[in-house]
Structure 1
């Protein structure tokens, strides 16, 4: 099977790393070191090889090493479907981040066409019990992994909605001001909903018949109060028009894809994810990430790069071994972090083992023998 593999990664003034370089051989990567050594920062840098704001959803200026605040740069060699790409992304102080692929200026959407990157970080552990916005972002990251153009539809929708909300706050009542904006919202919103539904169907297919030690999740897309959000352009336009008076009273748009929520049920028990134990909720998240990876292996033609932050610390030995076995079976290059080498003992020689430290601001990354 063709692969998607990161073979060279260089960081300059990114987060805690004044300078750092990793040379990788395509195997999964166990990265370990003390708290504060910059392990998560490396994963964040890799996440910036995909569209969007990365695994921390940080602004560009927040990623610059302090106190210098000189801006930052990430350079990478990426083998994708039998092609080698040289990728650079960077940001100068106060400026939006830039992307260059094979020496030519490119958009962030173009990154999504050559690479697929999925991640699971500790901040996502409360996904099922916190607000709908986090679940919506989680779903849209899955959608984006299948359809890079989903980002363009989302931006178009949000831009038109901001203009509509401005009219609502200003108590503008002339319907002609709303018609064009609502048409734009309906066109982009219908695409967003169709993309979401398609991604959920792919995840469901990837879960069927998979040999996995992790529980299967049944996913559902719903609106506020369990209402349906149309995936039809005409129906969405009608919903926006009918809701103008209500939205004007609220000063914002109260219906549409931006109000969607992702529901999940632990299928073997028939229990909603939000009612499961903490361990079960974590297992469901891992299950969905692995299903997403299996689906992408079929859809994109190669498994995605996986970023699994502090993943081993939250699993017992049997679940750790099961996760490592599934990652290797999928064929994904997974970058995983932990505080010590013992957390990755079950991987053995199937992975590279890198210890990370720091000398005078320059990161020291040392390859170690598998435990």
Structure 2
């Protein structure tokens, strides 16, 4: 009998076995795993991040690298790639499989998803598990473009509200349609009205979900004890977000509708839509220093990011009874010994399955006996000697 997903607080989800076929530099790999912390160590380019990427594809989207699926398959593989996981959690034992289906009419690789051998959509994965990650590319999160911070925030929202992904897709689809009308120089009012109403409904819901996430996360940050990971003050920058909590949804929708209608000539000149949640930003401040995150040191920015993700993991645990699986790529970079020790203690307390990578196993020596150590060597994974 296929178990039904449920969130009853019975425990966290963890991967019991991970199997890869023609994934990046792995021709074939079958890896037995356990709950708790897992450390992958090895040389640069050995394939440590590839393992984390495979796990990140157990959720909707293109994974932690955001790579086109066609690039993920091992070079020379004729049938694409496959990732299969057997997992345990509050919903019992279950299996997830995903991979590519071949090329579509545009030359893009499609994706298939199976849960307990039944084909389904990627959106359904969020009913079974959540996965969050921190990668070296995110070291520039606070200094990079606003789009990176929006994607980061939206993934936090998705872990709590699986419907957020569908709303974002609906909004993007409608906005692309509007942008095509703008590029064609169309002045068909009926077409604009119809497309803009779709944007208004989805966009207002997106803004409300983001604002609610920031509110919940800020409350979680406030109630946690002091730690080496400084408290962050979070805020949203955006015309819709500014209205959330101060005006009813129907008023926000009408304001957005009028803004889109009145901005058609301006947007036509710009060649794109200039108003909406696709222009919003997540603002982060280092509370103890009363300083914008983008002005903090690299180490302080990393500590802020880790603190936000750990706070969100706690929030998921409180709201669903199950904290996400965490992927922490090269997590020791920019964290001193004190912060590494604090991180490991918090991960122990959270009780979630956590996969960490580093070039040296010695960076994780303080968790010997509390973590499983594995050495990655260009397509193979084996127990680390003396661990």
For Structure 1 versus Structure 2, the TM-score category normalised by the shorter chain is: over 0.9
Q: Structure 1 residues 28, 160: closer, same or farther in 2, change over 3 A?
A: same
CA positional deviation for 1:370: 6.4
**Superposition map of 1:324-363 within 5 A:** 324-358=344-378, 363=379
Matched, 1:43 2:52: yes
Cα distance in 2 for partners of 1:188, 1:107 equals 20
* 1:160-171 pair list within 5 angstroms: 160-171=174-185
- Partner residue in 2 for 1:55: 64
Q: Distance in 2 between matches of 1:227 and 1:196?
A: 8
Match of 1:196 in 2: 210
Task: Map 1:1-371 onto structure 2 (within 5 A).
Answer: 2-94=11-103, 95-211=109-225, 212-223=227-238, 228=242, 232-358=252-378, 363-368=379-384, 371=387
Q: 76-85 or 53-62: which moved more?
A: 76-85
Please, which moves more after superposition, 204-213 or 315-324? 204-213
Query: CA offset at residue 66 of structure 1?
Result: 0.7
Shift of 1:254: 0.3
Q: How many aligned residue pairs are there? A: 366
1:227 CA displacement:
8.9
Which residue is equivalent to 2:7? none
Residues 82, 170 of structure 1: alpha-carbon distance in 2 compared, 3 angstrom cutoff: closer
Q: How far 1:50 sits from its partner (Å)?
A: 0.7
Deviations 1:135-180 (A, max 9, x none): 1111111111111111100110011111111111111123212111
Contact 2:217–2:312, Cα closer than 8 Å, also in 1: yes
Equivalent-residue separation in structure 2 for 1:19 and 1:327 (angstroms): 30
Q: Deviations over 1:42-80 (max 9, x none)?
A: 000000001111000011101000133530000001112
Contact 1:3 1:82 survives alignment (8 Å): no
CA distance in 2, matches of 1:8, 1:58: 24
CA offset at residue 318 of structure 1?
Answer: 1.1
Unaligned runs of 5+ in 1: none
Structure 2 unaligned residues grouped into runs of 5+: 1-9, 104-108
TM-score, length of structure 2 as denominator length? 0.91
For 1:44, what is the secondary structure of its paired residue? helix
Q: Could you say what the CA RMSD is over the residues aligned between the two structures, in angstroms?
A: 1.7
Is the Cα contact below 8 Å between 2:298 and 2:334 reproduced in 1? no
Deviation at 1:14, TM superposition (A): 0.4
The structural deviation recorded for 1:36 is: 1.3
Do the aligned partners of 1:168 and 1:251 also contact (CA within 8 Å) in 2?
Answer: yes
Q: Which moved more, 1:131-140 or 1:215-224?
A: 215-224
